[in-house]
Amino acid sequence: MQQMELDSILDFLRNKTILVTGATGFLAKIFVEKILRVQPNVNKLYLLVRANDAKSALQRFNTEAVAKDLFKVLKEKYGTNLQSFLSEKVIPVAGDITFENLGVKDSNLIQEMWRDIDVVVNVAATTNFDERYDVAFALNTLGAKNVLNFATKCVNIKLLLHVSTAYVSGEKPGLILETPHRLGEALNRSPGLDINTEKKIIEEKLKELSSDETANDKSITLAMKDLGIQRANKFGWPNTYVFTKALGEMILGHLKGNMPLVILRPTIITSTYKEPFPGWIEGIRTIDSLAIGYGKGRLACFVGDPESVIDV
Boundaries of domain holding 187: 2-295
Average pLDDT of the residues in 234-251:
98
Domain-embedded: residue 209: yes
Q: Residue 7: pLDDT above 90?
A: no
pLDDT digits 0-9 by tens, 37-76? 999 999 999 999 999 999 999 999 999 999 999 999 999 9
245 is catalytic: yes
46 is catalytic: no
H-helix or E-strand containing 262?
A: strand 261-264
Tell whether 300 is covered by a domain.
no
Q: How confident is the model at residue 1 (pLDDT cuts 50, 70, 90)?
A: low
CA distance 70 to 83: 15
Query: Which one of 205, 241, 256, 296 is the catalytic residue?
Result: 241
% of the chain at pLDDT higher than 70: 99
pLDDT the model gives residue 109? 98
The CA distance from 233 to 91, in Å, is: 41
Is the backbone of residue 233 left (phi > 0), alpha (psi -120 to 50) or beta? Answer: alpha
CB of 161 closer than 8 Å to CB of 264: yes
What are 139-180's pLDDT values in tens digits?
999 999 999 999 999 999 999 999 999 999 988 888 888 899
Asked if the structure places residue 203 within a domain, the reply is: yes
> Distance between CA atoms of 309 and 312, rounded to whole angstroms?
10
- The CATH number assigned to the domain holding 64 equals 3.40.50.720
Whole-structure pTM value: 0.93
Number of domains making up the chain: 1
Indicate which residue of 16, 29, 225, 245 is catalytic: 245
Distance from chain centroid for Cα 79: 30
Helix axes of 217-234 and 240-255: crossing angle, nearest 10 degrees: 60
> pLDDT for 255-284, tens place per residue?
999 999 999 999 989 889 999 999 898 877
